Structure formats: structure tokens, C-alpha cells
Amino acid sequence: MKWKQQLFGMKAYQPGKPIDEVKKLFGLDEVFKLASNENPFGSSPKVQQFLQEQQTNHAIYPDGYAQSLRTSLANFYSVAENELILGNGSDDLIAIITRALLYPGVNTVMADLSFSQYWHNADIEGAEVRKVPLKEGVHDLDAMLAAIDEKTSVVWVCNPNNPTGTIVTDEDLSAFLAKVPEDVFVVLDEAYIEYVNDPSYKDTLHYFREYPNLILLRTFSKAYGLASFRVGYGIAQPEVIAKLDPVRAPFNNTVLSQQVAQIALQDQEFIESCRVANEIGKKQYVAFCERHGLNYFPSQTNFIMFEVKADSNVVFEEMMKRGFIIRSGAALGLEGYIRVTIGTEAQNAKFLQLLEDVLTEQGVFA
Ligand SMILES: Cc1ncc(COP(=O)(O)O)c(C=O)c1O
């Protein structure tokens, strides 16, 4: 068969092990997944209530234009409806952008330690991937600019960045956007924007009006706690949306997912409460790292990446045996570190107590 050459040797995305499998594997009654930056508080109680009462006819295709959710998003952000594109998660939008703009002969620029779907999709399309090393865990925007040439089609800025949780300041972002050539498409992936509290990160919405080569990506999977429903969205000028829309699958958001996202968007009180709880949780990890002299990246997200001074795969395995699924830094490109989703206060306390045991066992702590 005539497979794309680049598919040979490629592997599917490796998600963390599911909770039930870990329970069975290690004979555990309770397992916590702090691996994929989901919301430990679930989603708005209004979503839960809707789900109990809803009577959707599942025989009918969803609205392919997601009109009702689109109107809610447009009102929420004060943007036009034709300035929005909805995806089956922002993963879908990353794939759509890639399919629309990347092909053999062009290149794409991104940070070396960032969200793996950027390079995964680019590899499938046969585009050249240019990874630019982070500088102290932060996107090196000057080096990324230097990596852009006349063959560059897309540049990805993950802000805040997964897996380091760091941000580029508004000042740096603004200078960067002014210098990116007009024919290079900029993706500003803001999957964790709801968690940011650093004042140097300013509202980015106005940038899409200033730059016809920019898209903002956001999602209901993180702070909104709706990862299983798969709803992400992009905000860009109508001409960009019109180019991307034909690449989108016809019914890429289900009926239920459109409904719950719309309900969740209205409950900003829930988002605020999660933001507050996340800050408390983040402090637990920062205090642990500082007490033990472990390096950590300053996180503006609901996860934190920090040093364990031990083999990160071993720490990952040992924590899994004890009921916590996290991400090994080795799997993300930074050996000696782990990435942990900030859980509830009780989950964090338990996690850190067990991590202390593991790192003592590993000879890191006396
Ligand atoms: C930076 C970033 N972008 C996009 C995604 C994809 O999110 P979703 O497809 O659930 O919207 C993730 C998920 O982990 C992420 O971390």
C-alpha cells in the first residue's frame, strides 16, 4: 500500500494509564490521575444537573455549526460568530491547522519542550519541524524568530507552556508578533489561560484583530473540567476561519458536548473557585520544592514540573504503585523532572507525603 513514508516509525499519542487499569495492576482501591491536567474539582454543578435531566435525541446529528454554543462564545468574548471555529478538543484544531498549512517543503517552528501534538501532526504532514530550545523553561521568542525563514508556514507559541507551565510576558509576545513575517501563521495555544494570575500576562484577545495571521486556541478541557466532552475553539479573523473551516469534519462536536460547554461557560463562579483552589495547591508543591531544594518551573497553570534528582521513570512507576498517575519528565523531554497536575488540597498533601517516601527510598533525601 502507498502509506505516507513519514508514518513508518511513528507511534500513536501515549496517554497515561487509565485509573481502572492501575487499580487492577497494583491491587489498589483508590487511584488519582494527576497526569493530564484535568480539573480535580470536575465541572460546574450546573453541568452535572443538566446531565441528569437532559433528554437529547441521540439519533439526530449535532448542529455542525454549533450555533448555540457559538453565539454564547461570541457574546462572552465580544467577537463575531464568524471569528470562531470549534474543534473536537483543541487537539482537533491543531490537526486542522496543520492539515491546512503544513506539507512537504515547508517548515514549522515551535519550542523543543512543548505540547507534543504540534510536532506529531507536522510529522504526519511531512513538514520540517524546527524545535527551538526553551530558555530557563520559557519560550525563547528571539531564537524562534531567528528560526523562521521563507519556508516557514506555522509558528506555535504555547502560552502558558505545557509541560513547564511558564508564560511569555505580554511585552515579549507583543514584540514577537510585530516581527513575525505576515505570511507566517502564528498559533497562540492558551489551553490553560483561565489559571494565569501573573499580571505580566495581559489579555491577548486584541491581538487577533491586529494580526490577520494569528489564531488563539482555547479549550473546555482544563479549567472548565469537560475534557471527556472534547470541545476546543479558535478565535481568528473571518478570513482565517473561512480557510480552516473546510478542513474541519462536519459534526466535530456532539450534541451533548455543545450543550454542556455552553452551560459551563456561563458559570464563571465555578472557574473562579477553581482558580483560587489551584493557587492553594500550587503553593503546596512550591513549598515542598523549596524545602527540599528541588528546582521547579514557575507555573501559571494547573500543573507543575519539578526536579526529583532521581530517574524520573522510576519515580513515575513508584508513584503509580502508590496510587498516583503522573507524567515522567523523561517522556516529556526532561529527564530528572516530573510533571504533576495540581489536585485537591488533600490529594496534593497525600501525593507529596508519598513522594517524600519515594525520594528517600531513592537516596535523594537523607
Ligand atoms: C497546551 C495544550 N494544548 C492543547 C491541548 C489539547 O486539549 P484538548 O484537545 O483537550 O482541548 C492540551 C492538552 O493537554 C494542551 O496541554
Query: Which pLDDT band holds residue 80 (cuts at 50, 70, 90)?
Result: very high
Question: Where is pLDDT greater, at 201 or 263?
Answer: 263
Looking at the CA of residue 114, tell me the nearest atom of ligand 1. Answer: 1
DSSP symbols for 78-118: T--GGGEEEESSHHHHHHHHHHHH--TT-EEEEESSS-THH
Q: How far is the CA of 226 from the centre of ligand 1 (A)?
A: 12
Q: Is residue 103 predicted with pLDDT exceeding 90?
A: yes
Whose CA is closest to atom 2 on ligand 1?
191
pLDDT value of residue 130? 98
Residue 64 has a pLDDT of: 95
pTM (two decimals): 0.96
Residue type, 277: A
Q: What's 222's DSSP letter?
A: S
Provide mean pLDDT across the span 334-345: 97
* pLDDT (tens digit per residue) in 157-183: 999 999 999 999 999 999 999 999 999
Q: 158 in ligand 1 pocket by Cβ < 6 Å?
A: yes
Query: What is the SS3 assignment for 233-273?
Result: EEECCHHHHHHHHHHCCCCCCCHHHHHHHHHHHHCHHHHHH
| Best CA proximity match to 229, nearest among 252, 250, 254, 251 | 254
Does residue 296's CB lie within 6 angstroms of at least one atom of ligand 1?
Answer: no
| pLDDT tens per residue across span 266-313 | 999 999 999 999 999 999 999 999 999 999 999 999 999 999 999 999
Percent of the chain, pLDDT > 90?
96
Give me ligand 1 centre to Cα 90, in Å.
Answer: 6
Give the residue-averaged pLDDT of 52-73.
Answer: 94
Whether 227 lines ligand 1, by a CB cut-off of 6 Å, is yes
CA of 191 to the centre of ligand 1 (A): 6
Query: Would you say 186 and 129 are in contact if contact means Cβ atoms under 8 Å apart?
Result: no
**Which pLDDT tens digit goes with each residue over 214-241?**
999 999 999 999 999 999 999 999 999 9
Predicted pLDDT at 239: 98
Check residue 13 and give its pLDDT. 87
Q: Return mean pLDDT, the chain.
A: 97
Which amino acid appears at position 203 of this protein? D
194 Cβ below 6 A of ligand 1: no
Mapped onto helix, strand or coil, the DSSP state of residue 147 is helix
Q: Is the CB of 190 under 6 A from ligand 1?
A: no
Cα 38 to ligand 1 centroid, rounded to whole Å: 10
pLDDT (0 to 100) of residue 15: 79
Q: Is the pLDDT reported for residue 88 higher than 80? A: yes
> What average pLDDT does this structure show over 189-204?
95
The protein residue whose alpha carbon is closest to atom 8 in ligand 1 is: 89
Please say if the pLDDT value at position 16 is more than 80: no
Predicted confidence (pLDDT) at residue 75 exceeds the cutoff of 90: yes
In whole angstroms, give the CA distance from residue 66 to residue 257.
10
- 76-88: average pLDDT: 98
Residue 33, pLDDT > 80, answer: yes
Ligand 1 atom nearest residue 231's Cα: 11
* Minimum CA distance residue for ligand 1 atom 12: 191
Percentage of the chain beyond pLDDT 70 is 100
CA of 2 to the centre of ligand 1 (A): 31
| Residue 50 predicted with pLDDT over 90 | yes
- pLDDT of residue 66 exceeding 90: yes
Query: Of the residues 13, 34, 90, which should be mutated to test ligand 1's pocket, given the most ligand atoms within 8 Å of the CB?
Result: 90
Question: Is 232's C-beta closer than 6 angstroms to any atom of ligand 1?
Answer: yes
Q: Is the model's pLDDT at 207 over the cut of 80?
A: yes
